[in-house]
Structure 1
Amino acid sequence: MRDTRTEILSLTDGRELRVTVAEPDGTARGGLVVLHEALGVTDTVRLLVGTLAAEGWLVAAPHLYEEADELPADAVRERLDTLSGEAALADVDVACVWLAQRGITADRIGVIGFDLGGTAALVVATRRALGAAVSVAGGGILSPLAEGLPALVEVAGELSCPWLGIYGDKDEAVSVEEVEKLREAAAAAPVATDVVRFADANHRFDTDHQAAAEAWQRTLNWFDSHLR
């Protein structure tokens, strides 16, 4: 794992955006934007950022919440209700500018998210010209996860870059039937899409270590294949 740091970037509207970043040794193979889970930028998110950097990627994780890095569980619902798709897109745009300033072109930038971030990653992949996207346990498939976000089945057919969805069948928040409807909707997109289900994995992929390892490798392979 590579060390991470948090930078504060000034935006054109006067706001400031915190971005947790990590850099690889040597020349980056490309850039990844990491979108955090509903709890915010947790230690797990920082671990993901650092681990992806160790794999050779230049990584930027925008803080979609303005509050402290990690929200208490009882504050998540209230904060989700204030999150809009446009705000998430704007924050991703800033992260992409940060990557571009370091020589990473749009076709070599991917987006990956878990939980809330997985939902946002799919939405971003329908609205921005990027190289590839991965969603892990992204909810809000049939009905919006938050008022400012669309239901994923309504927009999946508009994917503009290769997208991989990863889900566990034992996820209590997302049913197998929902995942299959998302697979069908994504298949209508004019780009490569894939949905992978793991029978014994839960929402956080911490009940089946073999599934977690395979999901990680599939993620790396997806970006290796499409970010060239």
Structure 2
Amino acid sequence: MPEFTRRQFMATAAFASGFALAVQPIAASVITTNAEGIVAGAVKIPVSDGEMPAYRAMPAKGTNFPIVLVIHEIFGVHAHIEDVCRRFAKLGYVAIAPQLFTRQGDVLKLSSVDKIRPIVAKVPDAQVMSDLDATAAWAAKASKGDAAKLAITGFCWGGRIVWLYATRTPTIKAGVAWYGRLVGEPNLLMPTHPVDVACALKVPVLGLYGGKDTGIPLTTVEQMRDRLKSSSSKSEIIVYPEAPHAFFADYRPSYREADAKDGWKRLQAWFKQNGA
């Protein structure tokens, strides 16, 4: 795999560009979290083949912060994901959102989902898992994070990753998966999907899904629920009956304020009750 270039790093560290701006017709609903009392900005995570760009936010004072990995949608680490990191920092976490597609392409410069999907399709799960390991290790070593209090959350594409990483990494305290895909045909880059590994899950994961999500049928959500009964993780799935896909994304027309706020409250409670 090629090493990251400075050009790639600067491009992926932008506060907002590409598709994120193209889908912002509802500016009144966009949440903007200031950086008062926190440290926030672009960082570089050492990985096996170079450095990976990421966005980090953490309290300005203190140490031994719980760590939360924030996994982006297919649109990459744009303004919304960065804001989510700042929200976590305000709660006392060191939050890091690594740009997980950089080796395959720069999705932040693209304005069409049809152009983004081929890039995302080239991203191996194994690469993502390794990059998240590196991100968690860096957070503990270089960002005053407490490795014993590691959590993960992700949205859409990132929601699927939450289930997979939590299954693979039993040291995680808790995970929250927002409308992540649960089933799919296996291939060389994505050999398993959440429903395939649910029985082996030991980490408590909270799944937040929309009843009106046309891309994630409720039949697959119920299939996942059934598989989770055989795990020791005490995971749960909440379905918001009237919510569409991406109901947490306040920069998109799919945003549903009441459901998003309820989900955010549930996330905080889930992390706290599970030691993250």
RMSD: 1.9
CA deviation digits over 1:141-183, x for unaligned, max 9? 2214975222221011121211100001011110111111111
Of the candidates 183, 187, 202, which is equivalent to residue 244 of structure 2? 202
Hey, what's the Cα distance between the residues in 2 that align with 1:106 and 1:144?
34
Hey, what's the Cα distance between the residues in 2 that align with 1:164 and 1:132?
8
* Partner residue, 1:50: 86
Which letter does structure 2 place at the counterpart of 1:222? W
Hey, what's the Cα distance between the residues in 2 that align with 1:165 and 1:61?
19
Hey, what's the Cα distance between the residues in 2 that align with 1:130 and 1:37?
21
Of the candidates 215, 225, 228, which is equivalent to residue 273 of structure 2? 225
Does the 8 Å CA contact 1:41/1:69 hold for their aligned counterparts? no
Hey, what's the Cα distance between the residues in 1 that align with 2:188 and 2:178?
21
* Partner residue, 2:136: 96
Where does 1:154-165 land on structure 2 (aligned, <5 Å)?
Answer: 154-165=196-207
May I ask how many residue pairs the two structures share in their alignment?
Answer: 226
Hey, what's the Cα distance between the residues in 2 that align with 1:135 and 1:107?
20
Does the 8 Å CA contact 2:160/2:177 hold for their aligned counterparts? yes
Report the TM-score, using the length of structure 1 for normalisation: 0.91
Cα 1:80–1:144 shift into 2, 3 Å: farther
Unaligned runs of 5+ in 1: none
More deviation in 20-29 or 179-188? Answer: 20-29
* Partner residue, 1:87: 127
User: Are positions 1:23 and 2:58 aligned together?
Assistant: yes
CA deviation digits over 1:30-70, x for unaligned, max 9? 11000110111121111111111111111111110113362
* Partner residue, 2:159: 118
Does the 8 Å CA contact 1:23/1:53 hold for their aligned counterparts? yes
User: Are positions 1:14 and 2:49 aligned together?
Assistant: yes
Cα 1:132–1:145 shift into 2, 3 Å: farther
Does the 8 Å CA contact 1:35/1:61 hold for their aligned counterparts? yes
Hey, what's the Cα distance between the residues in 2 that align with 1:163 and 1:123?
11
Identity of counterpart residues, as a percentage?
Answer: 23
Structure (1 or 2) with the larger CA radius of gyration: 2
Question: What secondary structure sits across from 2:219 in the alignment?
Answer: helix
User: Are positions 1:68 and 2:106 aligned together?
Assistant: yes
Unaligned runs of 5+ in 2: 1-32, 248-253
